[in-house]
Amino acid sequence: MANELSNPLLQQVETRIEAGLTPENHNDYQKIVVAGMHLALADNGKMLEPLQRARDPIDIAPKAAVGLVLIMRKEAEGKGQVMPEKAMVPAAMTLLLKLLVFLFEVYSPMRFSTAGVFCLPK
């Protein structure tokens, strides 16, 4: 996507995800990612509050990204629309990458161990 991630390693992963998309699925993928970001940040990021309160937000980040996509899928089905799985799964992975960047930027580096594992200050 045009909006590059600030972490070069995570950006590489996103680039590889997008490289695996067919032209037919790329447009749906972009719609899902953009809609997911809008939904996650709606109401001043209310959906992100559980992550901010979590003892280990990195542990629940994948569940949050997949849950967000499933919410959007259910909403689309309610409107008689279909969210293609070939776009939905890569979009969920990209939303996870964006969520990880958010968590790395929001939390102080002091909250991360030297191994890169999230930890609370003692």
User: Can you give the pLDDT at residue 87?
Assistant: 95
What pLDDT is stored for residue 110 in this prediction?
Answer: 47
Give me the pLDDT at residue 32, please. Answer: 95
pLDDT given for residue 109 in this prediction: 54
The residue type of 106 is V
Q: Which pLDDT score is estimated for 122?
A: 39
What confidence score (pLDDT) does residue 108 get?
55
Q: What is the spatial distance between Cα 101 and Cα 4, in angstroms, rounded to a whole number?
A: 11
Instruction: Name residues of the chain where pLDDT drops below 70.
Output: 1-3, 5, 107-122
| Tens digit of each residue's pLDDT (9 = 90 or more) over 51-73 | 878 888 888 899 999 999 999 99
CA torsion sign for 41, 34, 17, 9 is negative
